[in-house]
Amino acid sequence: MAENNMNDKERYLDEIEDSIRTIGVLTSGGDAPGMNAAIRAVVRTALSRGLKVRGIRRGYHGLLKEEIIDLSARDVSDTIQRGGTILQTARCQSMRTEEGQQKAAAICKKYGIDGLVVIGGDGSFAGAQKLANLGVNTVGVPGTIDLDIACTDYTIGFDTAVNTAMEAIDKVRDTSTSHERCSIIEVMGRDAGYLALWCGIANGAERILMPEEHDFDEAAIIADIMANKKRGKKNYIIINAEGIGDSINMAKRIEEATGIETRATILGHMQRGGSPTCKDRVYASIMGAMAVDLLCQGKTNRVVGYKNGQYVDFDIEEALAMKKAIPQYQYDVAKTLAL
């Protein structure tokens, strides 16, 4: 077709054909609700751009084992509402080695995967960066319930997980009030306190213990529990981030010191399951589509994010170097409201 007779869409599709023909997609690290919506968006966006799509099962582990399947539009039907990941996920030590990374890049080439979408957290992006350095075009999509990826204000799975935890904590509160107990509820988040902070605010907790504020004083908490009882409060809810842990022993120590029955509840993996919320489905759909479009534009070594109300993308190295802090004002508000 003569260049000057092409309209914009034709020119765009012409460019895609030249650079990328097959897109691969994998999920890596801990699963998160909404990952299926992201996979579906990758598959259908790529197909609609005339590309072939290959799904890689079990993250980098499956890539190294060549667990690679073709994906059609129908393969992702009926998945947008499902928790977990239809591609399965895994953690993979070999991908951290140079040998593993070389092998992974060679396998991508063998299967004609010239663009790879990696849905996961910071660790998964580090793997994507290594592949980009070895000539595989990669784009990362942030999927983790921990909300701990610095380059983005939102990570797929956080909204569902925080709502799941909030509902569970409401239930613990009911029984805690009936028995006039102190309840320590441990939420996930690895080394980050976002799930704890949000639950602390949403559940009206008396205390939020987060790794970012690790210098908490247990004697002060014990004194506060006693003062709280005097003020007529019928329970005392402590949200403890797993990065601090020790909930069971903490409960024993608090019970011994206060004489108030204290129970620990560890919410665990239930926080990672369940049907994604509307927010997770929508963000995942847009981020998944964007990842494919970035690859189609010839971009590589990028990560998609949502920052200051906009969908954006960053260089992976830049993204991994960014730092994100717990907003101090939000933490202070939580403390004020626990009066």
- Provide the binding-site residues for ligand ADP, judged by CB under 6 A: 28-30, 60, 91-92, 95-96, 120-124, 126-127, 130, 144
30 binds ligand F6P (CB under 6 A): yes
Q: From CA 141, how far away is CA 118, in angstroms rounded?
A: 6
Q: From CA 130, how far away is CA 138, in angstroms rounded?
A: 9
145 binds ligand F6P (CB under 6 A): yes
- What single-letter amino acid sits at 333? V
With b for 16 or more beta-carbon neighbours within 10 A and e for fewer, the 175-191 pattern comes to ebeeeebbbbbbbbbbe
* Closest-approach residue to ligand F6P (CB): 30
Characterise 245 by phi-psi region: left (phi > 0), alpha (psi -120 to 50), beta (else).
left
In the 8-state DSSP scheme, what is residue 30? S
Q: From CA 151, how far away is CA 282, in angstroms rounded?
A: 19
CB closer to ligand F6P out of 113 and 319 = 319
Query: Do the Cβ atoms of 1 and 130 come closer than 8 Å?
Result: no
276 binds, among ligand ADP, ligand F6P, none (CB under 5 to 8 A by kind): none
Among 93-101, 185-193, 255-263, 325-333, the segment contacting ligand F6P (CB under 6 A): 185-193
Q: From CA 199, how far away is CA 187, in angstroms rounded?
A: 9
Which of 122, 146, 206, 280 forms a contact with ligand F6P (CB under 6 A)?
A: 146
Q: Which of 31, 114, 122, 146 is catalytic?
A: 146
Q: From CA 173, how far away is CA 233, in angstroms rounded?
A: 12
Residues 252-311 that bind ligand F6P (CB under 6 A): 272
189 binds, among ligand ADP, ligand F6P, none (CB under 5 to 8 A by kind): ligand F6P
Least distance in Å: CB of 195 to ligand ADP? Answer: 14
CB closer to ligand ADP out of 83 and 121 = 121
Which run of H or E residues covers position 35?
A: helix 35-48
Catalytic-residue membership of 146: yes
Q: Which residue has the tokens 């949200």?
A: 239
Q: Which residue has the tokens 């983790």?
A: 144
CB closer to ligand ADP out of 135 and 259 = 135
3 state DSSP class of 153: coil
272 binds, among ligand ADP, ligand F6P, none (CB under 5 to 8 A by kind): ligand F6P
> What number of chain residues touch ligand F6P (CB under 6 A)?
9
95 binds, among ligand ADP, ligand F6P, none (CB under 5 to 8 A by kind): ligand ADP
Least distance in Å: CB of 204 to ligand ADP? Answer: 30
3 state DSSP class of 286: helix
CB closer to ligand F6P out of 156 and 292 = 156
Least distance in Å: CB of 137 to ligand F6P? Answer: 26
CB closer to ligand F6P out of 190 and 299 = 190
Least distance in Å: CB of 327 to ligand ADP? Answer: 22
Tell me how crowded residue 195 is: count the other CB atoms within 10 A of its CB.
28
Per-residue interface string for the shown chain with ligand F6P, residues 41-70, x marking contact by CB under 6 A: ------------------------------
34 binds, among ligand ADP, ligand F6P, none (CB under 5 to 8 A by kind): none
Query: Do the Cβ atoms of 87 and 3 come closer than 8 Å?
Result: no
Tell me how crowded residue 11 is: count the other CB atoms within 10 A of its CB.
11
- The strand order across the sheet containing 182-187 reads 207-209, 236-241, 182-187, 262-266
123 binds ligand F6P (CB under 6 A): no
* Residue 210 structure tokens: 């987060």
Which residues of the shown chain bind ligand F6P in the complex (CB under 6 A)? 30, 144-146, 188-190, 242, 272
Which residues are known catalytic residues? 146
